[in-house]
Structure 1
Amino acid sequence: MAAAASWGSCLCVHTVIFAWYVFTITKNCSLNTDAPGVKTYGGRWKYLTFLDLVLQCVFFGLCVFIDIVHLILPAKGVPSLLVKIRDKIFTILAFPLAAFVFSSFWSLYNYDRELVYPKYLDDIIPVWLNHAMHTTILPLVLVQMYIQNHKYGGRIKSIIGLALFAFLYLSGVLWVHYVSDIWVYPIMAKLSPVGLGLFFGIAALTMAPLYLLGEKLSRKIWASAEEKEEVRLGWRVS
C-alpha cells in the first residue's frame, strides 16, 4: 500500500517527467523525416501516439504547477479546482490513453509490424524515441498513480467522457481519409468496410476496461491510506 509522497518529492518527480516529455516531443518534431504520414494532411496531430505525448506533457506540467503552488503557499493550499482538473485528466484520459497506446501498438507490432510501424521507420525514428512514444508512457503513469492518490469520479460520466474522446479521434481519422484519401495507420487500408467498422468498435470499447483497470489499481494502491484518512476524519468507526 502506498503512502502519499511529500510535495517536494512530487515536484522532483514531476519536473523530471515533464522535462522528459518536453524533450521527447521536441526531438519528435525536429526529426528530418521523409515519413509520408508526417507531411500529409494533419501532420503529426493525426496520430494518437503524438496526441498522447502532448496530453502527458500537459498533465505533468499541471502537476508541476500544483506542486509549486503548494510549496509557495502552504497555508492557503492548492485550489481544489486545480486538483479536480488534475484528477479528471489523469483518470479519464492520461492513464487509459497511455495504457491503450502501449498495449495496442505492441500487440500489432508483434503480430505484424507493417500494420502499424513499417520497417522503414527504423531508419528515420531512433529506437529510444520509439520506446519513448510507445513504451515508457505506461511506467510513467504508473509512477504517478503510486506517488499521488487521484480521486475517481462517477464511472458512467467518466467512461462517457473517455468515449467522447474516442469518438472525436475516430471521427478525425475518418475526416483525414475523406479529405486526403489516406489512412492514418497502414492496418486501416487493409480492412474491408465491415472490418474497419469492427476495428473502430473494438478499439473504442477497449477504452472502458482500461479506465476500470486504472480505477482498480488506484484503489488497490491507496486502499490503506484512504481507510486511515476516513478513520482520522471520523468517517469510519471500527
Structure 2
Amino acid sequence: MQDYIYFRIFGYAVTIIMHVSNIYFMAKAIKKEHYDDPVLKAYSNLQVRYFTCWTFGLQIIYAVIGLICDFSTLRNRNNKNYKLPKHLRGFRDTLFAAIIWPSTFLVFTVFWSLFLYNRDLILPISIDKVLTPISNHVIHTAIVPVVLWEVLFRPRIEPKSHRRYLAHSVFHLFVYLLVLTYTYIERGIWIYPILTNAYGTIYFPIICAVMLFIKIFSYFMQWTLNSIIHGQNVNKKTN
C-alpha cells in the first residue's frame, strides 16, 4: 500500500503538466481575427463558464493537494503516529469523491454522446479553429484516466452514509446551473447549443434531470469500482 504513494505522485505530476500545458496551447490558439466570429468570441470570453473547464481546473487543484498530502506523508514516514491534518484529509476526500469523480464522468458521457450524435449540439465546428483534436481529447477524454488512476492507487473506505458527499455533488451541479442561467440573463445566450434548442420546451428540465442522474450514478460507481479493486466494501466508516 505504501508503494502506491509513488504512483500517485507520478499521476499528480502528469495531470498538472498535461492540463497546464493544454491551457497554454488553447490560449495561444486564439488569435485576434477569431473575434470576428461571434461563436468563437463567445467561446473565448466565456471559457471559465464551461463545465469542462471547471472539471479540469479542479483536477489541477486536486493534484496539487494530492502532492502536498503525499509529500507530507513521505517526510513523516518514520513517525508511525503521523496522520494528515483532519481538515486537509477531509477536504481531499470530499473534493474527489463528491465533485471530481462524478463531474469527470458527467463531462465525458454528455460531451461524447452529443458529439457523436450531432456535434453541433455541444461543440459547433467553427470552434475547431481554436480547439485542436489533441486539446479536445485532453479536456474531454484524458480526464477519465486521471480519476481512474486515483482510484487504482488510492484505496478508500466507503462511507456508511453517502448523504454528505451527495449533498456536495448536487450542490456543485446546482451552482453550475445557476451560472448557466446567469449567463443567459446577462448575455442572452445559452453557452451550449443543445440548451438553446431545448429552452422553453419539456426537454430543458429533462436535460437537467439527466445530468443529475449521471452525476449521482457516477458517484456510486466509484465505490463499486473501489471495492472491486481493493476489496473494502465491507469495511465502512461513519461519514
> Hey, what does 1:87 align to over in structure 2?
93
> Hey, what does 1:207 align to over in structure 2?
215
Tell me, in whole angstroms, the C-alpha distance in 2 between the residues paired with 1:181 and 1:192: 12
Verify the 8 A CA contact 2:11 2:146 in the aligned structure 1: no
TM-score by length of 2: 0.86
Structure 2: runs of 5 or more not aligned: 35-39
Deviates more, 1:60-69 or 1:149-158: 149-158
Tell me, in whole angstroms, the C-alpha distance in 2 between the residues paired with 1:204 and 1:215: 18
TM-score by length of 1: 0.86
Tell me, in whole angstroms, the C-alpha distance in 1 between the residues paired with 2:115 and 2:100: 22
Deviation of the 1:77 alpha carbon: 4.1
> Hey, what does 2:37 align to over in structure 1?
none
Deviation of the 1:70 alpha carbon: 1.2
Structure 1: runs of 5 or more not aligned: 231-238
> Hey, what does 2:107 align to over in structure 1?
101
- State the number of aligned residues: 223
> Hey, what does 2:189 align to over in structure 1?
182
> Hey, what does 2:227 align to over in structure 1?
219
> Hey, what does 1:66 align to over in structure 2?
69
Give the alignment's Cα RMSD to 1 decimal: 1.9
**One of 114, 119, 122 as aligned partner of 2:125:** 119
Tell me, in whole angstroms, the C-alpha distance in 2 between the residues paired with 1:174 and 1:218: 36
Identity fraction in percent: 20
**One of 18, 22, 46 as aligned partner of 1:20:** 18
Verify the 8 A CA contact 2:15 2:59 in the aligned structure 1: no
Verify the 8 A CA contact 1:5 1:147 in the aligned structure 2: no
Deviates more, 1:149-158 or 1:213-222: 149-158
> Hey, what does 2:140 align to over in structure 1?
134
Offset from partner CA, 1:96-143 (integer Å, 9 cap, x none): 111110111000001100000111222221111000000010111001
Tell me, in whole angstroms, the C-alpha distance in 2 between the residues paired with 1:210 and 1:77: 29
The ranges of structure 1 where at least 4 consecutive aligned residues each deviate by more than 6 angstroms after the TM superposition are none
